[in-house]
Amino acid sequence: MTIAKAEAALVWCPFPDEAAARAAVSTLLDARLIACGNLLPGMTSLFAWQGERGESAECGVLLKTTASRLDEAMARLREIHPYTAPAVAGWAVRVDEGTLAWLKGETTKP
């Protein structure tokens, strides 16, 4: 198995609930900006926001895409996210050739 260069990418983002996360993943899949979204419900976030401490139940999402679609996927995610200032983190990763081929096939514009 050969590992490809960092041509794949991951995006991490928390959502207020599973329904909002599912809707965002569906939108990104329809636009072919991602190939997969893993929903991780039941997450508890402890945070500081506007000088106050908070705690909230959230649904984390890990999105899989290509490095070439990363910026566009992150920008679209920020547009459709229900939070005013969502935490959207993305980074390029190395994957095996089979995974990269799948990602490229699913995120190539028709």
Q: What is the mean pLDDT of residues 61-86?
A: 97
**pLDDT for residue 3 is more than 80:** no
- With both helix axes pointing from N to C terminus, report the angle between 70-80 and 18-30 in degrees, rounded to the nearest 10: 140
Q: What is the pLDDT of residue 61?
A: 98
Q: Is the pLDDT of residue 2 over 80?
A: no
Quick one: CATH architecture of 8-107?
A: 2-Layer Sandwich (3.30)
Q: What span, in angstroms and rounded, lies between the C-alpha atoms of 16 and 25?
A: 14
> Residue 1 pLDDT > 70, yes or no?
no
pLDDT band at 5 (very low <50, low <70, confident <90, very high): confident
pLDDT, position 54: 96
Domain positions in the chain are 8-107
pLDDT of residue 4: 66
Nearest to 58 by CA among 37, 36, 82, 76: 82
